[in-house]
Chains A and B, each alone.
Chain A
Amino acid sequence: NAGVTQTPKFQVLKTGQSMTLQCAQDMNHNSMYWYRQDPGMGLRLIYYSASEGTTDKGEVPNGYNVSRLNKREFSLRLESAAPSQTSVYFCASRLTGADGYTFGSGTRLTVV
């Protein structure tokens, strides 16, 4: 099925460990986004990629890095996980400026 695929769906990390969250879309969308969702905080933008080859910081980029590997894939890396990074992470994509978002189903990350 066409859409945005995120892996893994669940992950538990120890403080200080690193990991990469994967996101891929098969809709030929140009821009891709990483959000985190926390209770009472809503969704906050971490990083985004307006087009292949570009990335920019969002509201809460500290502690994260991203890679736009190609047009389909946009990964989010935690180099040294902290308990404050416990959250649900969503990837989204969009075709053009006039279009809305399509979201993935999320990755639930717990850092202990």
Chain B
Amino acid sequence: KQEVTQIPAALSVPEGENLVLNCSFTDSAIYNLQWFRQDPGKGLTSLLLIQSSQREQTSGRLNASLDKSSGRSTLYIAASQPGDSATYLCAVRREGTYKYIFGTGTRLKVLA
């Protein structure tokens, strides 16, 4: 059974810092992995999608990497801003299934 873990559960950093959010999964037979952002009381916004054959994806100040063999993905946020404050979720889709398994998220607060 695929389990997805995100550590830390919460993170508070000063504005301008570069930071890394972690996502670990137990079954390396994944099809792809998706990172989301969720603002309080809102839905999920897709940030990056990494296929199993890819090592990383970039969008603006965000970079997501994937290491299937070690069961890890990281989301790198460069030059953090207060507007980056949100909960970040990763979701893993196992090979041969339609379903994504979600981690419980990292709640990020960027202090001005």
Contact = CB atoms under 8 A, between A and B. Distances in A.
Contacts of A43: 89, 91, 102
A100 B104 contact: no
B66 to A, nearest CB: 13
Contact of B43 (A40, A48, A58, A104): A104
A42 B42 CA distance: 14
A4 B89 CA distance: 19
B105 A42 contact: yes
B44 A90 contact: yes
B46 A102 contact: yes
Contacts of A101: 34, 36, 44, 46, 91, 100
Contacts, number: 50
A74 interface: no
A104 B43 CA distance: 6
Contact of B32 (A45, A98, A106): A98
A95 to B, nearest CB: 12
A79 to B, nearest CB: 24
Interface in B35-59: 36, 42-46, 49, 51
B49 A99 contact: yes
B71 interface: no
Interface string B82-99: 000000010100000011
Interface in A66-112: 90, 92, 97-106
Contacts of B104: 40-42
Contacts of A45: 99-100
A50 interface: yes
Contacts of B99: 33, 45, 48, 58
A41 B104 CA distance: 6
B46 A97 contact: no
A103 B46 CA distance: 8
A43 B4 CA distance: 11
13 contacts: A42-B105, A43-B91, A44-B102, A45-B99, A48-B99, A50-B98, A92-B44, A99-B49, A100-B46, A101-B46, A103-B36, A103-B43, A106-B43
